[in-house]
Structure 1
Amino acid sequence: MAKVIMIQGTTSNAGKSLITAALCRIFKEDGYRVAPFKSQNMALNSYITKDKLEMGRAQVMQAEAAGIEPDVRMNPILLKPMGNKGSQVILNGKVLKDMTAQEYYEYKEELIPHIMEAYNSLSDDYDIIVIEGAGSPAEINLKEYDIVNMGLAKLVDAPVIIVGDIDRGGVFASLAGTMLLFDDDEKSRVKGFVINKFRGDVDILKPGLDMFYDITKVDMLGVVPYLNVDIDDEDSLSQKLTNKYNVSLIDIGVIKLPHISNFTDFNIFSLIKGVSLRYVSNTKELGNPDMIIIPGTKNTINDMKWLRQSGLETRIIKHANEGKAVFGVCGGYQMLGESINDPDNIEGGGNINGIGLLKTKTTFNHSKTTTQVRGNINSISGLFKQLSDIEIWGYEIHMGNTEISEGEPLNNIGLKLEGCVCDNVAGSYIHGIFDNSKIANTIVEILMKQKGLNSDELVNFDLAEYKESQYDILANSVREAINIKKIYKIIGIL
């Protein structure tokens, strides 16, 4: 069985995902086979494995840091929020059913055998498992059926490190308060604290660290500075959706749908020199971008209604009629068509007109497509012609099928034709279609040429290489900031 360590946090967004990823990278660098684990994740940012199973992207990111293939055993339970209706529960990568919060709370105990099976199987294959908790472990009203924080730590006999976010203020109080709400067994599992997101001179903080040890008798393992690293984060807390950016030479506007999913599909554009990627919620924020992207969504019909009511639909049509680029991914692709039909009541039933920029019709059904794909852009015409024959890869997660009546299929996956393009408007079901850096770089080149700009100076960007450099920066920074030797002692290796 693998050695294990668990990272919990005083709050959501304290830095659990980041510290987990850093330890995965550090252990990998030190020659260990290491895997991340999170029993239950709640996110609309999901991923499809090679086995056609769905899991949260946070553990995908951590698997990348560990240098291994993402595996659904790393995240056996994924909850995909459905607004006021509760969540779609994904168990071991497949849809179990939709549940309200109360239904799920009462059902959680039945999930423990599945969690333990996934964890034990993973533990057989690796030297070290780094577990990430969720939210705060001190939610006393939820303790009885906890399966993701101290409840899980007890099940797998894991030592615990608690991370506190000093950037919010009150870090000592939040760490001490968390300990106060633990029972004696839980307190005994806490082997160390980490303070995260520190700005300034650590020497000023040191007297507080000494006093805090006198109060808790638990080691402070380190103080991690506020890191300028670009690592994929959880969708509900991502600053990328709220940050305001200055418009660059090439400006791309992503519609921030109420039920937006997989927004990481477009991260690569924000990393290319001279490109701004902005998430916009209204016509004022939209401005006059060079390309509009409509992303995926957990509720296509409701978000289509919102798009219409907000006035953004009219602006998207005007943008397209001016010959400028529009691209839809998954639910965004469905919205670009003429109609969306829901005869089986998947999203509440009924029919709705789409934006109508593509001659397509989508019909929902109970079958959920979850698969990885690889293929090529077809030989296409129009604004996106320069993309012809470039290789693509990614994954599909969607309900329903889309039929094309006019226009060209955008790409092929073996013998299967997928997506649609009509001059300057294109759509695809493939999440991650832009992660082939050649696709993203070529789109930026197309937009530059359309504006009459010289694209010869465009610096091609390699996403895979960039990600590796960010994981290295993360690991090096955390290794310098915390006592790794003590962590090895905590997990029983030294």
Structure 2
Amino acid sequence: MVQGTTSDAGKTTLVAGLARLLARGGCRVAPFKPQNMALNSAVTADGGEIGRAQALQALAAGVTPHTDFNPVLLKPATDIGAQVIIHGQVVSTLSAKDYHQYKPTAMAAVMQSWARLTAAYDCVLIEGAGSPAEINLRDRDIANMGFAEAADCPVILVADIDRGGVFAHLVGTLELLSPSEQARVKGFIINRFRGDISLLQSGLDWLEARTGRPVIGTLPYLHGLFLDAEDALGDARIDKGEIALRVVAPAFPRISNHTDLDALRLHPQVDFCWVGPGQPIPPADLIVLPGSKSVRADREWMVGQGWDAAIQRHLRYGGKVVGICGGFQMLGKEMRDPQGVEGAPGSSTGLGIFDMETTLEAVKQLRNVSGRLCFGGEAAMTGYEIHMGVSRGAALARPAVRFDDGRSDGAISDDNQVLGSYAHGLFDAPEALAALLAWAGGQAAQPMDVAARRQADLDRLADCLAEHLDLDRLAACFGPAHENAIRAYVA
């Protein structure tokens, strides 16, 4: 199990890299995160929903995403409450206090998935959540040491040296664990190091002497590494060439599946930026409204931030607008939530661009999709649907996408300036990306394959681990029963 001293220490990345490294050696490996809290999710082959990070790790391992890889997913709807998803399906929306009482039920689901995975795979790589040393969260913990104790598995601690204080993070985390939990920690990995490694050696020697545990490796800062973010917005600086298109998007407070815009953010000829609260909305060729976990609340935030006036001005000057999932719903006349699915029951007005109304219903629609865009030569697209809204209205008679299963999706405005779709991943397929960029005015943009870039970066990550980790020490962390097999897989 990979646990971190902090959030974003590198747990997701390390598990993905180890999964690719082991899979390349012939190991049947599966990722596992007992409990994830994230608004970036993916649809599995068995018709459920898991954290986006576990879908990435499954890709690294060369296996099809399954709900057992992330049996408990929490999708925050407010600062104190979240939608609870067990084995891929919504079971309730609970406050933090009520979820604490629910944890024994959630733990039972976790252990069921754990049993199935350990029976089916040679190796299961487990990712913790946040830090195991959060004292207020240790009671009934199912995400970190609570699970490690129940499953009787060894633990590696990873810390981010780029943030500073790495030795305090590692030693302090270890000191705050119980004696039995401390015994589970078999070694440390230091992540995101920049500079001359020889200058760090005295600190590594001290750490090993102080704790009696080995430093398995120090990983360099991998500039330009593209992997789907678990939750935080990608903000790494990306060098650009000659700009063919300027794109902006609002960073909603409850933004979901913002990885939909990674293809735009990474494209070498697209000048892309997120616009957060209080920031001016810059001129652009294309505005993209992303998904939202709380559509009505994020719609109110948009109004308060001045996006309505900015969008109307943008359209008057001939700009284009794309809405995805919740962003698509906001383009209609009204959004209704009679059952209080995402908050207090009620309704909110939309931008009114599409003659369409949306009602949030109790049953979440989850499916992987493929099809063709209804413009630009009918380019092929792939993606997935995750939504509880059902939209109806005359605007849907002019769809944006036709799926291979015969359904039509989304809408295009009569003046061809506004497009909306429920399909996440709309920009991911190379043909669809090229067609959408051309539609928005970026005819000169060069082709780009996001999936190929992702695979190449997973291989780059695995190569880095193979070079900078002590693979013998890594194999020893798995325990005597598995050490020789792991050593053979990573040799």
Same fold (TM over 0.5): yes
* Cα distance between partner residues in 1 of 2:279 and 2:164: 34
How big is each residue's C-alpha offset from its partner over 1:241-297, in whole Å with a ceiling of 9 and x where there is no partner?
x97998944111111111110000010112222112211135853211110000000
Aligned to 1:357: 353
Q: Say if 2:191 is the partner of 1:200.
A: no
* Cα distance between partner residues in 2 of 1:296 and 1:405: 22
Aligned mate of 1:426, from 419, 422, 428: 419
Tell me the CA shift for residue 90 of structure 1.
Answer: 0.3
Aligned to 1:147: 142
Residues 404 and 420, structure 1, Cα contact 8 Å, conserved in 2: no
Aligned residue type for 2:97? Q
Residues 10 and 162, structure 1, Cα contact 8 Å, conserved in 2: yes
Aligned mate of 1:264, from 246, 259, 279: 259
* Cα distance between partner residues in 2 of 1:465 and 1:415: 28
Aligned to 2:476: 489
Q: Say if 2:323 is the partner of 1:333.
A: no
Aligned residue type for 1:356? G
Aligned mate of 1:22, from 8, 13, 17: 17
Aligned to 2:394: 405
TM-score w.r.t. the length of structure 1 is 0.92
* Cα distance between partner residues in 2 of 1:493 and 1:214: 24
Q: 1:75 to 1:225 in 2, by over 3 A?
A: same
Percent of aligned pairs sharing the same letter: 38
Structure 2 residues not aligned, in runs of 5+: 485-491
Tell me the CA shift for residue 112 of structure 1.
Answer: 1.9
Aligned to 1:253: 248
Once the two structures are superposed, the pairs formed by residues 376-455 of structure 1 within 5 Å of their partners are 376-378=372-374, 385-386=375-376, 388-406=377-395, 408-413=398-403, 414-422=405-413, 423-448=416-441, 455=444
* Cα distance between partner residues in 1 of 2:69 and 2:321: 36
Aligned mate of 1:369, from 365, 379, 385: 365
Residues 239 and 268, structure 2, Cα contact 8 Å, conserved in 1: no
* Cα distance between partner residues in 2 of 1:282 and 1:223: 37
Q: 1:207 to 1:69 in 2, by over 3 A?
A: same
Residues 245 and 278, structure 1, Cα contact 8 Å, conserved in 2: no
Q: 1:224 to 1:106 in 2, by over 3 A?
A: same
Once the two structures are superposed, the pairs formed by residues 93-172 of structure 1 within 5 Å of their partners are 93-172=88-167
Counterpart of 2:65 in 1: which secondary structure?
coil
Aligned to 2:489: none
Tell me the CA shift for residue 111 of structure 1.
Answer: 1.9
How big is each residue's C-alpha offset from its partner over 1:12-52, in whole Å with a ceiling of 9 and x where there is no partner?
11111111111101101111011110000000111111222
Q: Give the stretch that moved more between structures: 80-89 or 261-270.
A: 80-89
Aligned to 1:471: 458
Aligned residue type for 1:161? I
Tell me the CA shift for residue 487 of structure 1.
Answer: 1.4
Tell me the CA shift for residue 392 of structure 1.
Answer: 1.9
Aligned to 2:487: none
Size of the alignment, in residue pairs?
474
Q: Say if 2:169 is the partner of 1:182.
A: no
Counterpart of 1:215 in 2: which secondary structure?
helix
Residues 268 and 435, structure 1, Cα contact 8 Å, conserved in 2: yes
TM-score w.r.t. the length of structure 2 is 0.93
Residues 226 and 453, structure 2, Cα contact 8 Å, conserved in 1: no
* Cα distance between partner residues in 1 of 2:280 and 2:430: 27
Aligned mate of 2:72, from 73, 77, 97: 77
How big is each residue's C-alpha offset from its partner over 1:90-138, in whole Å with a ceiling of 9 and x where there is no partner?
0000011011111111221222221111011111111111100111111
